[in-house]
């Protein structure tokens, strides 16, 4: 098990290497770009125009043969590549983007020296989301901790009742993301419970899935 402090350090380092960090907001997109996406100083030729991109950190398996839109600083270096068999598992993503009405994961990889080895976008529909570990709710078992949505509102049941995780229970989580309140005030890290459901990290203890520490060094292509 790694402490959440160390995990956070790795998350920010990974996002910096990927060159695609966005916290609590949306990047403006170059309105003159149509055939090619332009985002954060990087091109992704062949993709629809990127409308928004938010920082998340998780792990996916990729469908063999699926298209990945490689992201580079120069349009001439950007290209579309196919996912190869045997190099498609446990691939780290650092952002979730919306383009052309579809959701994309921004993939990343680092070599053994911690240098960027690959970055690009793939459709969410061409991936399978993996759990990055489990959390234990550090609270009185007779009470619960509020679950939140990505829009910073309380998650509710179909009957309008606030959803909560009971204290002293364990749950799988699928990624982590920083939440920011009005005027950029940091509200802390949150773990994704699946779908649009998040739990504040300060109320839980995180236990990594086996091999999770190796994901950021995976070079998928």
- Tell me the C-alpha distance between 43 and 76, whole Å: 9
Q: What pLDDT is attached to residue 212?
A: 62
91: nearest Cα among 133, 120, 50: 120
211: nearest Cα among 79, 33, 66, 90: 90
Count of beta carbons in the 10 Å neighbourhood of residue 209: 16
Q: What pLDDT is attached to residue 10?
A: 39
Residue-by-residue pLDDT tens, the chain, 221 positions? 333 333 443 343 333 333 322 222 222 222 223 347 776 667 888 888 888 888 888 889 999 999 999 887 788 878 888 988 877 888 888 889 999 999 999 987 655 566 665 578 999 999 999 999 999 999 999 999 999 998 889 999 999 999 999 999 999 999 988 888 777 788 889 999 999 999 999 999 999 887 665 444 444 55
What's the number of CA atoms in the CB half-sphere (13 Å) around residue 87? 16
- Tell me the C-alpha distance between 175 and 185, whole Å: 21
Report CA 181 to chain centroid distance, whole Å: 19
Q: Which two tokens mark 48? A: 């629809």
Domains and CATH numbers, the chain: 18-130 (no CATH), 133-208 (2.30.30)
Q: What pLDDT is attached to residue 13?
A: 38
Element (H, E) at 107: strand 102-110
Q: Which two tokens mark 167? A: 């204290």
């Amino acid at each position: 098990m790694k402490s959440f402090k160390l995990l956070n350090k790795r998350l920010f380092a990974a996002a910096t290497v990927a060159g695609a960090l966005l916290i609590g907001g949306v990047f403006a997109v170059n309105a003159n770009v149509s055939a090619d996406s332009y985002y954060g100083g990087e091109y992704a030729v062949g993709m629809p125009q990127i409308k928004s991109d938010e920082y998340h950190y998780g792990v996916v398996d990729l469908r063999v043969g699926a298209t990945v839109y490689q992201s580079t600083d120069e349009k001439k270096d950007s290209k579309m590549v196919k996912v190869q068999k045997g190099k498609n598992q446990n691939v780290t993503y650092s952002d979730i983007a919306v383009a052309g009405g579809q959701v994309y994961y921004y993939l990343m990889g680092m070599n053994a020296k911690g240098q960027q080895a690959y970055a690009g976008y793939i459709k969410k529909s061409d991936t399978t989301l993996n759990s990055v570990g489990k959390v234990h709710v550090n609270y009185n078992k007779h009470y619960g901790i509020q679950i939140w949505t990505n829009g910073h509102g309380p998650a509710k049941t179909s009957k309008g009742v606030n959803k909560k995780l009971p204290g002293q229970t364990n749950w799988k989580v699928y990624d982590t993301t920083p939440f920011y309140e009005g005027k950029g005030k940091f509200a802390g890290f949150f773990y994704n419970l699946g779908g649009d459901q998040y739990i504040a990290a300060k109320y839980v203890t995180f236990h990594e899935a086996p091999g999770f520490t190796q994901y950021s060094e995976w070079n998928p292509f």
